[in-house]
Amino acid sequence: MTALNLARMVAAAADTIAAHADELTALDQAIGDGDHGLNMKRGFEAVRAEADLFAAKPLPDALKAIGTKLVMTVGGASGPLFGTLFMALGKEISAGPDRANLTAAFGKAIEAVAARGKSQVGQKTMLDVLQPVHDALADGKTATEIVDVADAAAEATVAMKALRGRASFLGERSIGHMDAGARSTALLVRTVAEAIGEVA
Ligand code: ADP
Ligand code: MG
């Protein structure tokens, strides 16, 4: 990935999060405390502000630095988890990753998020999008297909009962609403896939 690509990808991610901040807030208002849109916007604007600095680094270091910045700026439960995702990805990825390396690194990063959150798939969290996206990558799906997998996976959290995070306090009443972190994860997957340039 070129420096220009990474800077462009960061800007696209920040644009997407900003454009959907109200939606993410509304989702988090329904079954959480309503700060997810603001949390993500604050974090991704902070990353955008230093995009050129990050883009000048080799990809592994850039991802680690982005993860550190997200931990410091997103806040809430999701900040350390998204931060862990990027930091672990940076630790495992090569400077010029092929699909196999990206898939393996992404798998390790998901494991790191699960360890940090003491969570697993099926608990109505960001993991319910991350894992299907990993599996689609491993299955050789196209970028367009992976975006569809991410959207469907976020949609599938509507029917789930939350077992982690604030939404779990609601028990059965968490059913019927999309998980905010699952939605923001699907938005980021779309942005990355589009920036990589294979999405029709
Ligand atoms: P907070 O819950 O502290 O207000 P946010 O609203 O920013 O933080 O983020 C909430 C999102 O974080 C949830 O929608 C969920 O996807 C994710 N999340 C919360 N706790 C966990 C966890 N233990 N493991 C994985 N994801 C989690
Ligand atoms: Mg919240």
Query: pLDDT by residue (tens digit) across 80-100?
Result: 999 999 999 999 999 999 999
**CA of 37 relative to ligand 2 center, distance in Å:** 8
Query: What residue owns the CA closest to ligand 1's atom 12?
Result: 78
User: How much is the pLDDT for 2?
Assistant: 63
Kindly state whether residue 200 falls inside one of the protein's structural domains: no
Give the number of whichever ligand sits closest to the CA of residue 34: 2
User: How much is the pLDDT for 1?
Assistant: 56
Testing ligand 1's pocket by substitution, the residue of 33, 40, 81, 84 carrying the most ligand atoms inside 8 A of its CB is 81
User: How much is the pLDDT for 198?
Assistant: 57
Global confidence as pTM: 0.96
**CA of 125 relative to ligand 1 center, distance in Å:** 7
- Please provide the average confidence, as pLDDT, over all residues in the chain: 95
CATH number at residue 179: 1.25.40.340
User: How much is the pLDDT for 105?
Assistant: 98
- Strand locations in the chain, DSSP E? none
Helix (H, G, I), strand (E, B) or coil at 57: coil
Classify residue 100 as exposed, middle or buried by CB count within 10 Å of its CB (0-12, 13-18, 19+).
exposed
User: How much is the pLDDT for 155?
Assistant: 98
**CA of 35 relative to ligand 2 center, distance in Å:** 4
Query: pLDDT by residue (tens digit) across 19-57?
Result: 999 999 999 999 999 999 999 999 999 999 999 999 999
Query: What residue owns the CA closest to ligand 1's atom 22?
Result: 117
User: How much is the pLDDT for 4?
Assistant: 63
Kindly state whether residue 35 falls inside one of the protein's structural domains: yes
User: Cα dihedral sign for 127, 128, 130, 135?
Assistant: positive
Quote the CA–CA distance of 22 and 86 in Å, as a whole number: 24
Quote the CA–CA distance of 107 and 102 in Å, as a whole number: 8
Residues with CB under 6 A from ligand 1: 28, 32-33, 35-36, 39, 76-78, 81, 117-119, 125-127, 164-166, 179-182
Kindly state whether residue 16 falls inside one of the protein's structural domains: yes
Give the number of whichever ligand sits closest to the CA of residue 184: 1
Kindly state whether residue 160 falls inside one of the protein's structural domains: yes
Are the C-beta atoms of residues 195 and 5 closer than 8 Å to each other?
A: yes
What residues make up the domain containing 157? 3-195
Give the number of whichever ligand sits closest to the CA of residue 116: 1
Quote the CA–CA distance of 159 and 176 in Å, as a whole number: 5
Q: Which residues of 107-134 are buried (b: 16+ CB within 10 A; e: fewer)?
A: bebbebbbebbebeeebbbbbbbbbbbb
DSSP character for 161?
P
pLDDT above 90 as % of the chain: 94
Kindly state whether residue 158 falls inside one of the protein's structural domains: yes
User: How much is the pLDDT for 196?
Assistant: 80
Q: How many CA atoms lie within 13 Å of 100's alpha carbon, on the beta-carbon side?
A: 0
User: How much is the pLDDT for 200?
Assistant: 44
User: How much is the pLDDT for 195?
Assistant: 85
Domain count of the chain? 1
Testing ligand 1's pocket by substitution, the residue of 110, 125, 168, 174 carrying the most ligand atoms inside 8 A of its CB is 125
Mean pLDDT by 10 residues, the chain (200 residues): 80 98 98 98 98 96 98 97 98 95 97 98 98 97 96 98 97 98 98 75
